[in-house]
A and B are shown apart, each in its own frame.
Chain A
């Protein structure tokens, strides 16, 4: 019940703000965008999602000639910000950055929002997880590691990378299932993000981590850890020596944390076409490519239709993995 009233309240305030902002001239009389656009980020300032959203907003501003203001709506493990995007007035003046959590939270029963609650505009980034071990680990290849995991009793091996039920936990579950093992064959040690997990790997507290390669990069470069494989269709240009799971084990399993731009459901077609076209220019720009390469973030393009199909596929896969891990309430 409180959710409904809150959402209705948010929608009505957003609508009121929109009406107030319009003044006497209706927006339809002018070419979009006629006034500043708000870009909602469901995560805190200073993080990777925030940085990506800010560079995209800066480049959109340059292309479309109106300010694109990034607003961090944090709280509720991402639910608050994702709700704010979904419940905004569908006029194109409030858009936002979706993250992979939107295809996970509804399975856990945390929200009713899912990929279908939005008008997808463009997929901008995806980072696949790698499989990392400590540099003192006896396993030199992912095959050796996998054989040792299969031979060991359930729960002997410990892995980490994020909290319980987070994206990297599900990556591990998906990999175990692809090998024909139970979801809990490797025990998951929840952590507050990838950095503490990588530190614990180096401290000898864990056997493996399944966080993304950019998150593991500094420790790998420091010679404290090794990446054995990545769960992606192709190798990462920053780590050309790390094979994909398919190359190393013949397992065709890939997943990843992604970020994309979307608006509330029911965005007018002319607005969404214009935004997607502009986002394509942003994606192809030198500034964006350089920025993402510096942070070590992968760039993946998907237009509105491809992004929608991508989210649907990911959503179904997440459902399977979360049910297997016993995390789904649906």
Chain B
């Protein structure tokens, strides 16, 4: 029981730090660069990815004993495409402005390597509980990284956060337009990766 608890905790927090999909595994780079100009779209993308990860891991884990090797990838793709279509329809129906601003990047979750990677590496080999915890941990790791990157870019590009002025900062700050463009995403992500490597090196030393 105790071992099981530790293992679930490790699985969850592993997704946030040790096996962070973006900062350690370098997966999901496309949305990381494309939807991080502001925190709101980044958060929406993160929550969408958590939903797709959960849906995919639950289905794959539940059917793992029935999965034949040659239909495995087809089954993963079918499951992921279904979850992504549900997320896309939901956003179009209930968050139309956000859906329009995210454009093709919600449908593109289908080709996000994190999802199929977790289906293959975790859900197809483990039970339901571990698969759910893995999906939550990986999804949280992806969402947190996405939001941190987006927050840095939004503050530097506009002087605001969540599209709201920051008291005593917005007044004197001169917006840095470059941070709102792709170059800002590349530079910020590069610096974040460098910082994570530095922290890892120091903690291991």
Do A and B come from the same complex? Answer: no
A residues whose Cβ falls under 8 Å from a Cβ of B: none
B residues whose Cβ falls under 8 Å from a Cβ of A: none
